[in-house]
Chains A and B, each alone.
Chain A
């Protein structure tokens, strides 16, 4: 069976850099496609990959007759190039190209379809108007009103759709009738909550800056309330008519017999369901005819910043700076980034960006076999996630170099994680800190003890500890080791894939439905160690191309069981964590970390791409490569430190600018003509 494997990463381009050499005139490029790519496809691909529905793997390559048609499907061509490069295509039982032919076509596809021409005028792209996702909505409401309330959970918002790996992408965030209903319910509850909070600094006092009295009418009090609230809620100055309508509404409600509280609550609801609150609006502005790019406005930039670094609204200082035009100034912008990263609110980066980048969510879809892994459960999972969040908080706080994420000699533990890792906790044996109180009966007590179902003394105390030999950085954190495992045993394949995908930005394509899985090729070989089963699997040429990359990376992590505990043997077999990738011998996690650090450029390029996707709220386009390369150039010298990368990203064109939309450009031209 022949299959063309297509990877999941439609939205990620393969990292490759445009250089001046590639600036071939466009008819030369078309010619090159016709001369170097098409003949290869005709000779080696279309035999199987043609005929529409009949095409092998459902992939039809016959229709690509020109560069222009291929440019419509860049992501697919990038996958095709990857498969040819890996040697996975054409399949071994087909007519095979000479190595030189292979190299030539790979080079041609890369240069024609995967590299941006950074010599062209800058194209910062456009971001579709973004609805606040559930996490941003909750944070915003908390900061706007000063209340502790999680409406998305209390009211039950439908889950936000994920695209390009993140749940904050403008195109994927839709607004359905059910969500609008939930927003109405939430707004009602939020208003009530805000009006409850007592005390001179409580949420009520904060919201009701005035209440009506003998000298102050209901309408005037309402005006004061909404003149303060609206600019914060809409993240820009309010227009007079916007305030007036809410004053009118409040007045009308009051005239109809509602209390002042109830009438103000109606106005607050209208604010919270307004598109100006729910969406991050970046309206069109007037610009010179022929202008191709424009800076987004100061208030819009402030919102981009705050939702990037805080997943929440701009605070008063950022709002002020935007109003004063300070964000146009690069130095002032740098200072704001510094300030915001120092702020507690920047911890949101761990829960939003880091969670999704690392794939922490997968931990919540996994259940490990508790007979083999009795301590697995909600407590342990929460502790694992907490460790990872604390680790990244420290990494951002200490402005760590990216490559050092896999190389640190410290982590954070509470007594539960200390016992999990076989460490002492402040000089104590953590096993003895586990609560061994009375149970309903001895049997039940022992069961709970074995499963560590109760709490430890000082369960909430977290300390920074030095890692013992054999543990190092992110790679040996239980979170990463567990989210890449199967319920009953480790999966070197998944671990290797995780390293390639999450750290190196080089994901292997998924196995097609009918390629034999590990179980089949290793049939009858279950008593063999996993390593030998994998070797059998790799001896199948259909699997070899990708698994030669994945397996050794994952095998290097075999000294850790599915929930991340250290081990020396597996199923009675001593562990052998050695292997070879790209001609580099790797034995165990220390050498794996060295290998990853040797590919620091790939690590950085991948990280910047992911961070840019998250910061912009849109999938990357080919032209974004130029911005990414520029960010890398600016941060290479200091070793790709996290804060430098963030700052360079904030200063980049895609973050501060946008392409002028076609429709507006045309409109301006016709205005000018008139």
Chain B
């Protein structure tokens, strides 16, 4: 029951900051019910889909070879089949499926194959959620990953690299870069400054003054710039505004149990350690209500890293184009299972964390998926999608639900937003909500 005491501590802290003008006042009744948290975890390069697809529907489903790696977590997830992200298709633009899939996964729009470097995607679902439910936490949203953007060569068939290395987008031109260093991610979430994770008032005042001045700089500069430059300056201005709000909330106390957690290493020894440190951080961030929205790229879309710790020496992307060569298919199968195991670990950690009368997992919806179905063929229908948690009652896990005829993945996103109290009328290519999430 330690966590419920800590939760009270935390809520006291929140109460203290309610006086700030930017915050909506929170009614006592709302405080009583734990908030719903949303997470999206992406993996790259699709799957061996025939080894992913389970048999049977409803509660009566048999895990496939890949999904057997869920282990105990199978009763905590929904397997959702038949969803599509069709805007990742070429639409006449030729190769570049990995780049398009990265950019489409959480947006549902077709990214522009730009001449030069101009980006054109759309605000992603996590950022839409952050705008609605991220405004009272220390951090509106958290973006994590394990690989930096590519610094050499081209990324994918003439698409800017940003499409492959980000799934979270603040605006059509502004990706939300991910933190890949566990130590720095921890410090960003919980601060390091006075050892207790709290900021002194004077420091906050200083930051606010600095931000005031630079916002003023930007406002004066804007009329003196051409149209393309103004867009860049607007990005800057938006980031200043977002940061101002964040600084205002800097003195929200961090719950005591966070201070008991050792700060993670900056240099994980293996891929699994790296992934798990990041997953632990997400659990900690949710548990402490430091944020309610998180995204995590287990690897960049199109990633070609090799998974030596499970005996796979070849590059993932290269292997995924296996042309049905048995040894490559086997290697991809190993990677698929390995990544599902990492997701199962995350689900297990959420389930093992008590919250209120139940568990943290009861108040989460965590999606695991990719906008490519079969890595060898690059199709964007029949996507491999798992959804963990109950979302405060919105989902009934432990089942396999099959949707028909290219139901947009964005329909599921609308349902997730509903569960978190961040409803939107439509989003990207959505055509409605999905049914049968709960029974």
Contact = CB atoms under 8 A, between A and B. Distances in A.
A59 interface: yes
A59 B175 contact: no
Nearest to A245: B213
Interface stretch (A153-161, A452-460, A467-475): A153-161
Contacts of A664: 226
Interface string A244-273: 011001001100111000000010011001
A217 interface: no
Max count, chain B CB within 10 A of own CB: residue among A7, A9, A176, A365:
A176
B116 A163 contact: yes
B252 to A, nearest CB: 16
A533 B35 CA distance: 61
Contacts of A156: 179, 181, 184
Contact of A360 (B152, B165, B218): B152
A177 interface: yes
Interface in B126-162: 143, 148-162
A163 B221 contact: no
A1 to B, nearest CB: 12
Interface stretch (A33-41, A512-520, A542-550, A574-582): A512-520
Nearest to B203: A188
Contacts of A621: 116
Contacts of A517: 321, 323
Contacts of B232: 128-129, 131, 170, 174-175, 279
B243 A58 contact: no
B407 interface: no
Contacts of B325: 519-520
A75 B158 contact: yes
Interface stretch (B22-30, B86-94, B335-343): B86-94
B127 to A, nearest CB: 10
B62 to A, nearest CB: 31
A269 B213 CA distance: 10
Contact of A58 (B91, B155, B174, B246): B91
Contacts of B91: 52-53, 58
A126 interface: yes
> Which size class do A's interface residues fall under?
35 or more
Interface stretch (A179-187, A319-327, A409-417, A635-643): A179-187
B170 interface: yes
Contact of A161 (B165, B181, B377): B165
A297 to B, nearest CB: 12
Max count, chain A CB within 10 A of own CB: residue among B91, B117, B143, B211:
B117
A7 B158 contact: yes
Interface in A261-302: 266, 269-270, 273-276, 278-279, 281-284
Contact of A176 (B113, B170, B221): B170
B331 interface: no
A630 interface: no
Contact of B117 (A11, A178, A266): A11
Interface string B233-267: 10110111011001000000000000000000000
A68 B149 CA distance: 36
A422 B209 CA distance: 62
Nearest to A52: B92
B306 interface: yes
Interface string B197-220: 000001001110111011011100
A6 B95 contact: yes
Contact of B225 (A7, A161, A283): A283
A520 B155 CA distance: 25
A449 B209 CA distance: 58
A305 interface: no
B151 A162 contact: yes
A245 B59 CA distance: 66
Contact of B157 (A52, A360, A510, A520): A510
Max count, chain B CB within 10 A of own CB: residue among A52, A74, A177, A257:
A177
Contacts of A274: 213-214, 217
Nearest to A4: B94
B423 interface: no
Contacts of A177: 170, 176, 238-239, 242-243, 246
Contacts of B390: none
Contacts of A273: 210-211, 214
B119 A128 contact: no
B20 interface: no
B323 A171 contact: no
Contacts of B188: 178, 181
Contacts of B216: 245
A161 B161 contact: yes
Contacts of B227: 661-663
A7 B202 CA distance: 55
A270 B115 contact: no
B221 A161 contact: no
B2 interface: no
A419 interface: no
A641 to B, nearest CB: 27
Contacts of B181: 156
Contact of B378 (A128, A276, A487, A513): A513
Contact of B239 (A58, A175, A282): A175
Given A174-B174, A513-B321, A53 B225 contact: no
A362 interface: yes
B173 interface: yes
B119 A172 contact: yes
Nearest to A358: B152
Contact of B214 (A59, A128, A164, A275): A275
Contact of A6 (B158, B160, B210): B158
A11 B228 contact: no
A10 B163 CA distance: 15
A493 B119 CA distance: 32
Interface string A497-533: 0000000000000101110110110000000000000
B309 interface: no
B118 interface: yes
A181 B246 contact: yes
B212 to A, nearest CB: 9
Given A75-B115, A162-B150, A162-B161, A275 B221 contact: yes
Contacts of A610: none
A541 interface: no
A164 B117 contact: yes
Given A63-B92, A167-B151, A283-B221, A253 B158 contact: no
Contacts of A361: 150-153
Given A167-B151, A283-B224, A362-B152, A180 B217 contact: no
A618 B118 CA distance: 10
B209 A249 contact: yes
A629 interface: no
B160 A176 contact: no
B89 A513 contact: no
Contact of B116 (A8, A164, A278, A663): A164
B15 interface: no
A5 to B, nearest CB: 8
B177 interface: yes
A370 to B, nearest CB: 11
16 contacts: A4-B94, A6-B157, A63-B92, A74-B115, A126-B228, A172-B117, A176-B174, A177-B242, A181-B188, A256-B205, A266-B210, A273-B211, A275-B214, A361-B153, A365-B152, A517-B323
Given A7-B158, A367-B306, 16 more contacts: A9-B158, A11-B158, A57-B94, A58-B95, A76-B94, A159-B149, A174-B174, A177-B239, A184-B211, A245-B213, A270-B214, A279-B236, A281-B229, A282-B229, A487-B313, A514-B377
The 8 closest A-B pairs by CB, nearest first: A58-B90, A361-B152, A10-B158, A163-B117, A619-B116, A158-B177, A171-B117, A661-B226
Interface of B: 89-95, 113-119, 143, 148-162, 165, 170, 173-179, 181, 184, 188, 202, 205-207, 209-211, 213-214, 216-218, 221, 224-229, 232-233, 235-236, 238-240, 242-243, 246, 304, 306, 313, 321, 323, 325, 376-378
